[in-house]
Structure 1
Amino acid sequence: MNDYIIDIGKRIREIRKEKGLTISTIAADAEVSNGLISRIENGRTIPSLPVLLNIINAIDVAVADFFGSLPQRGKASFLVSRKADYAILEKEVDARGFEYKSIFGKALSSIAFEAVLLEIQPGSERAKVETNAYEFKYMLSGNCVYFIGDEEVILNEGDSIFFDGRIPHVPINRGDIPTKMLVIYFYLPDLEN
């Protein structure tokens, strides 16, 4: 995972410098601190998924282009965000009983996307599939084991995962209740046309 953190930071710095952008500009546009951008660029921390998507938006590059140019590493084919890591946003000062948790960043106009709700029954079966999209999945209820390539990730309610859908993958519900998840596909351009 450390190599992936370094690769993400290097890629952000590389694009920022190519475009003549300052750390302050990126931080302001992504609504984070200068120090956080610096730590990410130097490989000392990896941002949460919402923050990473905000940074990618701030450097004005398509998500597919950003991830497509990262080195492929067997153990770094996905990003997982855990429920405990989501930031609580303060929206309305005088509202009680409302809690907004940031699980996803700004809309991206540079790539087509689709959002779906997926329910997986206990004991359901399917072979691994591939999609021409990056996939973001947020666990609404239940849990599952996600197989991505040769890797296995356990996801529980409130967790999320982001990965390249071109890697063969399948979720398996080994529990005794249905698994429900929000799925957002970020479709990649058709390279054959």
Structure 2
Amino acid sequence: MAAKKEIEDVKVDERNKSLGRHLGTTIRQLRLEHNLTIADVSERAGISRGMLSKIENSLAATSLETLEQLANALGVTLSKLFQNYNLPRGAAQLVKKGEGMEVVRRGTRVGHTYQLLAYDQGPHKTFEPFLISLEDSCEEFPAFEHPGTEFIHMLEGTLEYRVGKDTFVLNKGDSLTFQGEIPHRPENLIETPIKFLAIIHYDAPDKENFEE
């Protein structure tokens, strides 16, 4: 029990230090953005310059009352000081222009490229966004079938696209959504070069199968 309490105390201490660093950095940034000196803010907040300096450098803990006084001195709300604290990191994935991973799919030929713009890092795919470029107006395509829902948005050119028995003429700015299980393919490349986004959204895995 004593060891467990000691571990919990360490975790609480680490969280307090992390929050102290965040508050200190935020207060300093806001002060500098407003072109205020430590003397200016400490006078407005009614605390000593030494205490403000310690708070900014996370060398001293402070009360909510003092934080509210500092927020008022900086012309912001109290919640502003906590706004970006403890946000999840690593949740964003940047793919720069032209750096999408080129993938080969059935029917891929010269002048017909698929660039995958995001990569799922978990055990199950949730979606796949492709940037597709087509240049050869004589190219013929096999029918594609896959799980999930597909969304297409035209960026350039004009394309006739078949979904099941229906065909749709897509111009720049047009969008098309359909179930991936229905056979689909580009039917006719009317005006090349053609570029479009194709985003496939997969259904969540069955919970019972996932647990197995």
| TM-score greater than 0.5 by the shorter chain | no
Instruction: Determine which structure has the larger helix proportion and give its number.
Output: 2
| Structure 2 length-normalised TM | 0.36
Tell which has more relative contact order, 1 or 2 (C-alpha 8 A, sep 6+): 1
